[in-house]
Structure 1
């Protein structure tokens, strides 16, 4: 991870996740890069509408308010396939919405994921699935954003929700479930209940969130809240609890749903964004909350990608 950012939480965001660029993207798909570039230049004085991640970015940056004289707690960095020339419209929109985003990488049509590590990012949010996969393969927490079908009422609290296996934890238990079934999975987890699970791609991000929460002191005053929302149930819950205890990471809420659809529970929790490795769960969640698909682990392998988990 790059130096120079101290203990800040560093989030990378793609331009298409931050702003609605559907019109210009359609020009690119239909007419190519040159026509796209000219379209952006011709419309660079027209403001872009907020995109799927806009509300989350606003809340993240708001964490830097009311701390005069102190270094910012959160840094948001723009990683874009645009060139600097075509990206002028993006920065004009950032300025209009008063988003304190000052660092960016414009990659001229190439994937920007490689700069996420150089900037020391804890998380990369994009609408480009290929960029997300590249970031995950290089050890960076990343997700493809799916917009919610209904909008969450705005408030000042930022609520993250995470699936367990293949997101916060490794997919070793998921592999047993997929290949040997629920009974073998349950017996394996009971036998390994006191053995912490290895970390998954989002463990470093959760750890960074936990440290940021600690800076606010009293949990009741902290504007960040976290939840584990997993299809696990008893007795497979014990290993999860002991794993988080071994990591010395506090999760504010834990929901063990035993295979129930997650959408209504995420709505009740009030998640701003939910991260899960399985598209079937993302489909349920995105009825109510912004969701990030994490294309990692056995469920996203060619063998199992089309088979939804019942665990």
Structure 2
């Protein structure tokens, strides 16, 4: 029997995405790290409210409940710029909410991303864009997880018991070659480029490794509508640019449950209809369309993010 513990799905997450720490973060920005630490100690017994990624984390950890012995398990690791001392409030809140988070790295104000790879993380979620960019440069799938448009409260929780994850294609699952062609030559040039290369697999993007790990987990669980995980590709591509995407996923041996080829339509309403717990996209425009409807993770990768 395979050793499930040897091949887990590991998600590293920052404390600001797991819990609502905006009040204390405001203290940090206005008064510095010492005032922040004092604030956290003085509120040590005040439980933190769930943050933008809390529903996602709860569903991820819930996949371990009742899963087959041979299935890879899911581990969530806390990566925080807090010190261990000021982070005690965070662990008190983790215990209160019954989250099975056992490992953590507290960097006391220093960039924490160097610890992400030693933990073997398949995905890193943070509210700090610099940490996310550094993690991507180190080869780890990463996204800046943004609050909703109206407040710092989490995006609405959805009615689905399934964990539902949606991905953009180009510059997220795949490389950004299609976006580069589109920007340089326009949509007609992009359509011809993709049509002429329909049989050539696309290159892998920063989230290919995470998608592989997620697919490995999904394959060990019930399939179809009974699966506890459901995935979707939500892309601005349209016919005829769809064929290369389908053939690439077939070549990789990856299953995505749903595929939405929107031809440039706003993605937010479709993500809400899918009931995404989280959506990953490289375009700030698409993130703005999704924010407030679902948790939206910006992937600062590819030509759309070059300055």
Of 262, 277, 280, the residue aligned with 1:257 is 262
Could you tell me which residue of structure 1 aligns to residue 14 of structure 2? 14
The runs of at least 4 consecutive aligned structure 1 residues that moved more than 4 Å come to 67-72
TM-score normalised according to structure 2 size: 0.94
Contact 2:71/2:217 (<8 A) preserved: no
In the superposition, relative to structure 1, how do residues 155 and 255 fare at CA in structure 2: closer, same or farther (>3 Å)? closer
Give the SS at the match of 2:233. Answer: strand
RMSD: 1.5
For residues 148-297 of structure 1, the aligned pairs below 5 Å read: 148=148, 151-297=156-302
Q: Per-residue CA shift, 1:16-37, capped at 9, x if unaligned?
A: 0000001111111000111111
Aligned counterparts of 2:268 and 2:109: Cα–Cα separation in 1: 35
Aligned counterparts of 2:34 and 2:189: Cα–Cα separation in 1: 55
Structure 2: gaps (5+ residues): 150-154
In the superposition, relative to structure 1, how do residues 185 and 301 fare at CA in structure 2: closer, same or farther (>3 Å)? same
In the superposition, relative to structure 1, how do residues 68 and 299 fare at CA in structure 2: closer, same or farther (>3 Å)? closer
Aligned counterparts of 1:133 and 1:74: Cα–Cα separation in 2: 24
Aligned counterparts of 1:7 and 1:242: Cα–Cα separation in 2: 27
In the superposition, relative to structure 1, how do residues 23 and 148 fare at CA in structure 2: closer, same or farther (>3 Å)? closer
In the superposition, relative to structure 1, how do residues 248 and 70 fare at CA in structure 2: closer, same or farther (>3 Å)? closer
Aligned counterparts of 1:50 and 1:145: Cα–Cα separation in 2: 14
Contact 1:274/1:291 (<8 A) preserved: yes
Structure 1: gaps (5+ residues): 303-311
Say which is worse superposed, 111-120 or 152-161, in terms of deviation: 152-161
Give the SS at the match of 1:160. Answer: strand
Figure out how many residues of one structure are paired with residues of the other and give that number.
299
Contact 1:5/1:120 (<8 A) preserved: no
Q: Is 1:95 aligned to 2:100, yes or no?
A: no
Aligned counterparts of 1:138 and 1:122: Cα–Cα separation in 2: 12
Residue 68 of structure 1 deviates from its aligned partner by 8.5
Residue 217 of structure 1 deviates from its aligned partner by 3.6
Contact 2:41/2:86 (<8 A) preserved: yes
Contact 1:147/1:289 (<8 A) preserved: no
